[in-house]
Structure 1
Amino acid sequence: MHRRLIHKSYQCPAWLEYLFVHLGVIVGLAGPVGMIKTHDMRDWAQRQQYCHDYFGHQQPMWKDFFWQIFCDIKLTYPPTFNIETCVTQNNAYRCMEKTWMLQQLPLALLLFWLGGMPWVVWGICVRVSISIIGHWLIGCFAHNHGQRNWHVNHAHIQGYNVPFAALLTMGESYHNNHHAFPGSANFALEKGQLDVGWLVLKKMETLGLVWDLVLPKHLPKRDELQRINL
């Protein structure tokens, strides 16, 4: 969902994109428009010469946890984001945005039918809680600890690769690579790195389900990008 909806790093049929976005929505963070706005706001803030600690996960973990899970930040002069009309005017995404919390209900009913309330508690309540806390935890590590092979000049916040979480996050924890080449469909850019999400996309490419996968070599050169730790 992240690589398609936000970064357009590959092409696929509309039905497959809707499926991926729906699976992203039921993680429990937001609807499709809400996820784009949150992502773009954080990305914009981190690329400034000064970034508020909220966007950069720069406070102690207990405080950052409280901020990220229970709080929101309101800017006096927020930036304006022009989300593509292919999203804002798309009836499927408009429906997902309006009903994103309610989209847990079909799965909850299925789980209740299969196993009663214990399945609902584990399959909805516990799953969403773990997903949201896990999303924060990986974000906290990926902006503070790990490996770096690239530095984005003039950006206040840098990304870090977190190898121990690579399998769990399907490659999304290679955040230094992602900061360097956000439009790449492959996050595993160094020897020994494993991006399961990329492997899935490559397999789907052989089946004709996705195409035009973007790699760093396809992206415009960034003058502010500097190679380090050679």
Structure 2
Amino acid sequence: MDDPHAVHRLVPDLLADPVNGEVRWDPVRSLWNGGACAVTLVAGPLTVTPGALALFVATTGVGLLLGHSVGFHRKLIHGSFACPPWLERLLCWFGTSVGMGGPSWMMRAHDLRDWAQRLPACHDYLRHGRSPLRDAWWQLHCRLVLRHPPRFDQGRVATDRFYRFLDATWAWQQLPIAALCWWAGGWGFVVWGVAARVFASAHGHWLIGWLAHNRGPQTWLVAGSGVQAHDVPWAGLMTMGEAWHNNHHAWPASAKLGVYPGQSDWGFAFIRLLERVGLAWDVRTPETLPVRDVLRAAG
């Protein structure tokens, strides 16, 4: 692409409409997210131990760092660095293990929202434009059916056997993890290493998404975009740098999200570690990317 910041998989379509559509209940995703929530709230207090909590923190952190942030978001979706194919697949398995969906689903969900938010107006579902309770119900239990959706070409990801396998079995990927947890510590480890982890990851992803599009500090505005992003400073560490969302809207192709002093970014630190050992290259940062004429200083 001439523009590294573009939505790379978008197929130009003049009929595509980001505004008109209907939010419908998604039974599979609703039962999945609702089930993880119910198991956590009911069985979590009955099985909590220091070991189970340590497992929860470790597995949630590893999944969000290696998988969701580095594997899915910065590598597969934005191509902000290059790495060997085996490493990309491994990182994307970790992304699938987070429990929100497989590679193709995550790419489609991200690219649809990315495309819509860059336009002057879009559906409230795509802009997190309703109250927190309504938006949580929509994002965690429903899907948006646009009357005239855009088309996307996912290229090699759509034809890669491994990625197709992950898409078909994304929920079942929790079974080997559950087996390891049970072997290591019984049912308490299963509750906290699987159900609580999936619950926290999915609901936390929604919460940061809602906040990052509604409130918080802003350094940059993107001219022409109907949706402007905010940073969520208190969540910078626990989201592996993903909470610096205003920076991300300013430089979507950047592997570095914590751009300014004091903005923690474990995802970028991990990419730099990969670069030092020769497993990552062509790492993009705001300093190495083309100047964006659409950027304006906020305030």
**How does the TM-score come out when normalised to structure 2?**
0.74
| Deviation by residue 1:126-179 (Cα, 9 ceiling, x = unmatched) | 110111000000001111111111111111111111111000001010000000
Match of 1:158 among 220, 225, 228: 228
Counterpart in the other structure of 1:48: 119
How far apart are 1:228 and its partner, in Å?
2.6
> Are residues 1:5 and 2:63 paired?
no
> Are residues 1:27 and 2:98 paired?
yes
* Percent of pairs with identical residues: 46
CA distance in 1, matches of 2:232, 2:77: 21
Q: Structure 1 stretches of 5 or more lacking a match?
A: none
SS of the aligned residue for 2:130 comes to coil
> Are residues 1:184 and 2:254 paired?
yes
Residues 47-66 of structure 1 aligned to structure 2 (within 5 Å): 47-66=118-137
Match of 1:101 among 159, 171, 184: 171
Counterpart in the other structure of 1:227: 297
Aligned length: 228
CA distance in 1, matches of 2:153, 2:273: 33
SS of the aligned residue for 2:151 comes to coil
SS of the aligned residue for 2:137 comes to helix
Match of 1:139 among 206, 209, 230: 209
Residues 74-113 of structure 1 aligned to structure 2 (within 5 Å): 74-84=145-155, 86-113=156-183
| Deviation by residue 1:7-60 (Cα, 9 ceiling, x = unmatched) | 110111112111111111111111100000000001111111111111111111
Residues 116-135 of structure 1 aligned to structure 2 (within 5 Å): 116-135=186-205
Q: Structure 2 stretches of 5 or more lacking a match?
A: 1-70
Match of 1:210 among 280, 287, 294: 280
Counterpart in the other structure of 1:114: 184
CA distance in 1, matches of 2:264, 2:185: 35
Structure 1 runs of 4+ aligned residues shifted over 6 Å read: none
| Greater relative contact order, per chain length (Cα 8 Å cut-off, separation 6+) | 2
CA distance in 2, matches of 1:64, 1:156: 18
Counterpart in the other structure of 2:109: 38
Counterpart residue type for residue 29 of structure 1: M
CA distance in 1, matches of 2:265, 2:281: 18
CA distance in 2, matches of 1:192, 1:99: 39
Counterpart in the other structure of 1:168: 238
**How does the TM-score come out when normalised to structure 1?**
0.95
Match of 2:271 among 201, 212, 215: 201
Counterpart residue type for residue 139 of structure 1: G
